[in-house]
Amino acid sequence: MCGIIGCFSREGCYEKLMEGLARLEYRGYDSAGVALLSEGGIAVRKRRGGVNALAGPPLAGQTGIGHTRWATHGRPSDANAHPHAAGKFALVHNGIVENHAALRRELEGQGAVFASETDSEVVVQLIARLYRGDFFAAVSAACARLQGSFALAVLCADRPGEIVCARRKSPLVAAAGGGALFVCSDVPALAGLAEYVCPAADGEFVRIAGGRVFFCDGEGKEIAKVFSRLPEGSRAETGGGTFMEREIAAVPRALADTLAGLRGLDFAPCARALRAAKRVFAVACGTAYHAALAFKDAAEREADVTVLCHTSSAFRDRAPRIGQGDLVVAVSQSGETADTLEAARLAKSGGAYLLSVTNAPHSSLAALADFGIAMRAGAEVAVAATKSYNCQLLCLYALAAQLAFFRHARFPAWYRSLGALVPAAREAFSAFPAVQALAARLAGAKGMYFIGRGQDAVTAAEGALKVREIAYRFAESCPAGELKHGTLALVEEGFPVLALATERALAQKCENALAEVKARGGYAVLFSQYEEVLSASCADAAIRLPAVPEPLMPAVAVIPLQELACSLCLLSGYDPDRPRNLAKSVTVE
């Protein structure tokens, strides 16, 4: 949610700033802006719309900041776009200032005149009020008065070559390379721009000054840090089509890379936690939550351990009594999702062992965790998660297998077949012409249901989420066994119900549910790897899935559903990479 970037380059920073900003767009795309500091002072260009809306002659200056917005306080407009300016300062902000109303009243009482409806403008007005000639001191003093979350970058007209940044909860990294220094919301946006990167910890400040980038505390005392090489795989997928199409096409490669990483991963450091955990929790949001549900299913079956699976927000709301001896598995593609981070902090503060599964090795979640499993999906730009979901499943299957091993000295039978997911994912693409034809058939539908039993209930939930998110259709999932307990009432002539049947033992029951749909005039679609299930089915359309050991099928079965949502979206003329109202990383509550 919102991306911020700052850059210092002696050759002028405009081009680099714009390039980074374009890469940050997936964090928010309802408005964008830059501010550059030159001898003439601070020049601001900001507009409603995407980064393209900023087109115009390059702005001069070696030092600059930029922002892509996902509106929280104040609708998308030119005035509400960042950077916000006051006195000698310009500021970009990601996060939410919770005490903005009280601060605004206080500042207005002192004569401040606000130009926007945002919580962020309060911060720059506060800095301008507190400034007594010491740029850093003014920013630090302002931060001390803020409640909520922020990553911010500030320019001061008196201090050419300087940017002061602060972090509380919202992500911030410092980076260097290509003759330039950077601060940024995340690492993927810096791919191709910077070579070395170092994340800021919570409460730290980052400064660019005197031709170097460094960290310090609120008093300005420097904190020693080690920069590491920008991780490989930080680059976005290239090729034709939308990012979502490319990212679906990259699933086999992403699985192969993730598998290679898993093969080199030593689970010994977390063996004790896996072996002795009294309770196992899994926390995540959205698609990652579906992966966590699949983990629950796999771990409970294979390791004979109860997994308590919560959405991160529900985990926070109820704050279950976490203690030593509990294992909390936090799953997040970005590693920056605010709710998941807070759930992870809760777990840590309670004394639990925190294990993370992320696609971002420099993320806040990875830094917080006692042990991390890295997906190697590569940068995922489209807001809808695709390849990262397949890789999350792979990592979590590996974790379930390790749990089984450490608790019962045996790996599940399918453990040796994880590699089969790679060719199977490739083979899943051969169903795409049929899936695209199905999308054309469903294009006129206002809504649809996805059903499944056992592990297929989770795949159904993920398929429905994808359709809601990018094709803007009402789409829900329902365990197939629950259909006749209420949801069947929605089925009328032509209403689409899409069923997954990848567990042979449950396939007949799922088939029965579809028959009930057909009997009410519904349009029934079946997905299965079993020829006999498909041929015996009464479905109007059948999509054959590639076969892997049954417990691994969710990682394959979801691929045609990802494609279905993408096709529906494109057929409807929507942009799958930037669905309305959403952003990739939900870094605010």
From 16, 387, 466, 584, active-site residue: 584
Least distance between ligand AGP and beta carbon 583 (Å): 8
Give the binding-site size for ligand AGP (rule: CB under 6 A). Answer: 15
**Is the CB of 9 or the CB of 333 nearer to ligand AGP?**
333
**Residue 24 is a binding residue for ligand AGP (CB under 6 A):** no
Q: Is 270 a catalytic residue?
A: no
Q: Which is nearer to ligand AGP, 435 or 588 (CB)?
A: 588
Place of tokens 């297929």: 456
Helices (H) then strands (E): counts for the chain: 18, 25
Fill in the per-residue mask, 319 to 348: x = in contact with ligand AGP (CB under 6 A), - = not in contact: -------------xxx--x--x--------
Q: How far is the CB of 358 from ligand AGP (least distance, A)?
A: 8
The CB-nearest residue to ligand AGP is 286
Residue number, 289 or 449, with CB nearest to ligand AGP: 289
Within 10 Å of residue 515's Cβ, how many Cβ atoms?
A: 13
Residue 63 or 334: which CB sits closer to ligand AGP? 334
Q: Name the residue nearer to ligand AGP (CB basis): 100 or 387.
A: 387
Nearer to ligand AGP, 384 or 543 (CB): 384
2, 184, 395, 566: the active-site residue: 2
Q: Which of residues 465-484 bind ligand AGP (CB under 6 A)?
A: 469
Single out the residue of 548, 272, 551, 219 nearest to residue 407, CA to CA: 272
Q: Give the containing element (helix H, strand E) for 155.
A: strand 148-156
2 is catalytic: yes
Instruction: Give the nearest distance from C-beta 337 to ligand AGP in angstroms.
Output: 3
- The percent of the chain in helix, strand and coil, each rounded to the nearest 5, is 40, 25, 35
DSSP symbols for 389-415: HHHHHHHHHHHHHHHHHHHHS---GGG
Q: How far is the CB of 26 from ligand AGP (least distance, A)?
A: 10
* Contact window for ligand AGP (CB under 6 A) among 7-15, 186-194, 280-288, 492-500: 280-288
Q: Judge contact between 450 and 475, C-beta under 8 A.
A: yes
- Check if the beta carbon of residue 66 is closer than 8 Å to that of residue 90: no
First to last CA, the chain: 10
What's the CA gap between 61 and 41, in Å, rounded?
A: 9
DSSP 306: -
Q: How far is the CB of 234 from ligand AGP (least distance, A)?
A: 15
**Amino acid code (one letter) for 87:** G
x-or-dash string of contact with ligand AGP, 281-300, rule CB under 6 A? ----xxxx------------
Residue 576 Cβ vs ligand AGP, minimum distance, rounded to whole Å? 10
Measured CA to CA, the distance from residue 281 to residue 286 in angstroms comes to 16
Nearest 10 degrees: CA dihedral of 480, 485, 489, 491?
10
- The minimum distance between CB 340 and ligand AGP, in angstroms, equals 5
Which residues 186-205 are close enough to bind ligand AGP by CB under 6 A? none
User: Cα dist. 410→398, 404, 414 in Å?
Assistant: 13, 6, 11
Amino acid occupying residue 391: C
Instruction: Give the per-residue contact string, 355-394, with ligand AGP (x = CB under 6 A; - = no).
Output: ----------------------------xxx---------
Closer by beta carbon to ligand AGP, 36 or else 283: 283
Is residue 492 within 8 A of residue 464, CB to CB? The reply is no
Task: Report angle CA 460, 465, 471 to the nearest 5 degrees.
Answer: 120
Q: Would you state the structure tokens that stand for residue 377, as one six-digit string? A: 């999906």
Residues designated catalytic: 2, 584
Q: Would you tell me which residues interact with ligand AGP (CB under 6 A)?
A: 285-288, 332-334, 337, 340, 383-385, 469, 585-586
